[in-house]
Amino acid sequence: MKRWLLKRTKIDTAAMARDLGIRRATAAVLANRELSSRQAARSFLYGGTAALGNPLEMKDFSQAVSLLAEAIRAGKRIAVYGDYDVDGVMSTSILYQTILRCGGNAVFYLPHRQKEGYGLNLRAVEQLAAEGIEVLFTCDNGIAALQEIALAKEKGMTVVVLDHHEPGFRGEGEERRDILPAADAIIDPKQRACPYPFKQMCAGGLSYYFAHHLLQIFEITDEGLERQLLTFAGIATVCDIVDLLGENRALVQMGLAEIGKTKNIGLRVLIEEAGLSDKAISEYHIGFIIGPCINATGRLESGRLAVELFCTQNEKEAREKARHLVMLNAERKQLTEEAAERADIALQEGDALQDRVLVLYDAEIHESIAGIVAGRIKDKYYRPTILITGSEDGAKGSGRSIEGYHLFEALFANRDLFTRFGGHAMAAGLSLPVENIPVLRRRLNEGCTLTEEQMIPILRLEDALSFAEIDLGLAMELQTLEPFGKGNPAPLFASKGIHADRVDLIGKNKDILRLTLSEPENGIRLSAISFDGYEPLREMLKALYPAEDCDKIIHSGLLPQLLDIVYSIEINSYRGRSNVQLILKDFRFAK
């Protein structure tokens, strides 16, 4: 069961459509993205560099760039300290290559997930100091590393933090104050003192801005490098699941335009080894094929391998590393399937399903896939989920959340239970003693204010359409709103009282519905497909007819009831011909 919510806007979408020369349905999507001005709407539609902001407005941005420029000129040893996920890998690759291009003396360091965990750690700071590092530049981490950065300062290092995670805080409401490390400069738009208006960038996007300005300071014009860094920023933005609006969307648009013709040897070879060399690469390919291959190194071995892949100039070496990434991802998939099944069985056999926040513990699940498995469980039961596994020094966990539940703030309220934690509203990581796990479960559920309604998945609808409004022109226009993702989901529409003139079962298992639909008021017919609608349709029919008649009704090819439907509008191309096709996301019998 899903909730259908029609988005509401005060904007006159018909007038907006006339003003911009677009369809009313497209205008409704723009209005629902809160793009009320002509300038904002045109920027969204046509994007490009005009949609990018001015990072010099960020707190400490100019100071941080100046510090790195001075360090490069002085020949100081610089360590770029990243993270082992895609955002951390791409941020590290962007900054490391840029510093080298500017003549810097740089190394990079990515912590080992199992041995060191996320972010800075005291042992790594000691090691870098012993190696003569004078400038510590963190990316995709550092905002919560109070003790570690204090140690780095004691060791005489200049410390620059580039992060996009939530800082810790004290107080509430207007009295709330950030708790920040004693770094020399901190770039993080989520700082309360940062005036930058766009707060949703990932570290890859911030790193691209930083690299761009550093190259300008050194008066380096290298269009090839700029395009490469832009592509890396786009990959990071897609994979870190930040809102694909504003500057993020522009970065991804421009990155996607470059990725198919990339000159970066490592990225090109990875695309080939992943079987995508003949594809027009979209945000789907980045998020579900390329990104997981990059992530797999940090999950099962070391994220360092991925940075080395993107920095090498040796094609043979790149090919070997890319093949290894693809192999690791296949292994990661198998581990994930097995772990997700284990977690779900344990959940159903225990008493956790009575909870509104699911806190699961399985010491045997590989800690590197805890976040993926937590996401699977969250999607299935639509509840905030934290999966905790065993580790070398207690227990580690990853959490994934739903709308209406700010996971980081919930963890912050129970920070006394953790040895380490961090994250944001929808995802977080944590470490804690095993004995604190039941306490965490109890406290999170006692403090949870989610209602039963909030724990029902939502389908947010852009508009209700007549079939008379749907044609190939609209489908093509909606494609200009890509790339789709968090904050800019693929538009969903609804139509009521639709007749199913024909229903066919297709696919290997004959469980995919292919339908011919018509609107009784005008007789317009459209083709539709539902990839997961067979079982829901059987259940709907069983509520009205004897069970033995349900399959007969479906196989007859004609449904006896009108439907209300929710769908996306796609283009189906076959043998040189293109037609509109509705992809059904949900349906119910009309009342």
Instruction: Kindly report, residue by residue over 273-321, the tens digit of the pLDDT.
Output: 999 998 999 999 999 999 999 998 887 778 899 999 999 999 999 999 9
Q: Residue 393 pLDDT > 80, yes or no?
A: no
**Could you count the other beta carbons within 10 Å of the beta carbon of residue 188?**
26
| The one-letter amino acid at 198 | F
Strand partners, 109: 81
Q: pLDDT above 70 covers what percent of the chain?
A: 100
**Structure tokens given for 14:** 């018909």
What is d(CA 266, CA 312) in angstroms, rounded to the nearest whole number?
Answer: 7
Do the Cβ atoms of 183 and 231 come closer than 8 Å?
Answer: no
Per-residue pLDDT at 423: 82
175-234 pLDDT, tens digit per residue, is 789 999 999 999 999 999 999 999 999 999 999 999 999 999 999 999 999 999 999 999
Q: What is the pLDDT of residue 557?
A: 85
Other C-beta atoms within 10 Å of 449: how many? 8
SS (H, E, C) 485-509: ECCECCCCEEEEEEEEEEEEEECCC
Band (pLDDT 50/70/90 cuts) for residue 451 is: very high
DSSP-derived secondary structure for 403-424: TT--HHHHHHTTGGG-SEEEE-
Instruction: Report the distance separating Cα 120 and Cα 100, nearest Å.
Output: 22
Q: 91-145, pLDDT tens digit by residue?
A: 999 999 999 999 999 999 999 887 887 889 999 999 999 999 999 999 999 999 9
- Alpha-carbon distance of 179 to 143, in angstroms, equals 9
Is the model's pLDDT at 21 over the cut of 90?
yes
Three-state SS for 472-486 is HHHHHHHHCCCCCEC
Residues 424-434, mean pLDDT to the nearest whole number = 90
What is the model's pTM? 0.87
- Kindly report the number of other CB atoms within 10 A of residue 551's CB atom: 12
Interatomic CA distance for residues 294 and 271, integer angstroms? 11
* pLDDT score at 500: 94
Across the chain, how many H-helices and E-strands are there? Answer: 21, 20
> Is residue 431 pLDDT above 80, yes or no?
yes
Taking only the tens place, the pLDDT of each residue in 326-340 is: 999 999 999 999 999
Distances (CA, A) of 195 to 40, 61, 159, 249, 511: 20, 11, 22, 21, 52
DSSP annotation of 451: -
| pLDDT at 392 > cutoff 80 | no
Mean pLDDT, the chain, rounded, equals 93
Q: How far is CA 389 from the centre of its chain?
A: 23
Q: DSSP characters for 176-226?
A: -EEE----SEEE-TTSTT---S-----HHHHHHHHHHHHHHHTT---HHHH
User: pLDDT band at 382, cuts 50/70/90?
Assistant: very high
Taking Cα atoms as reference points, which of 296, 305, 288 lies closest to residue 330?
296
**What pLDDT was estimated at residue 299?**
77
Percent of the chain with pLDDT over 90: 82
pLDDT of res. 300: 74
DSSP symbol at 192: T
The values of phi and psi at residue 351, to 5°, are -110, 10
Alpha carbons 349 and 342: distance in angstroms, whole number:
11
User: In 3D, which of 383, 347, 352 has the Cα closest to residue 365?
Assistant: 347
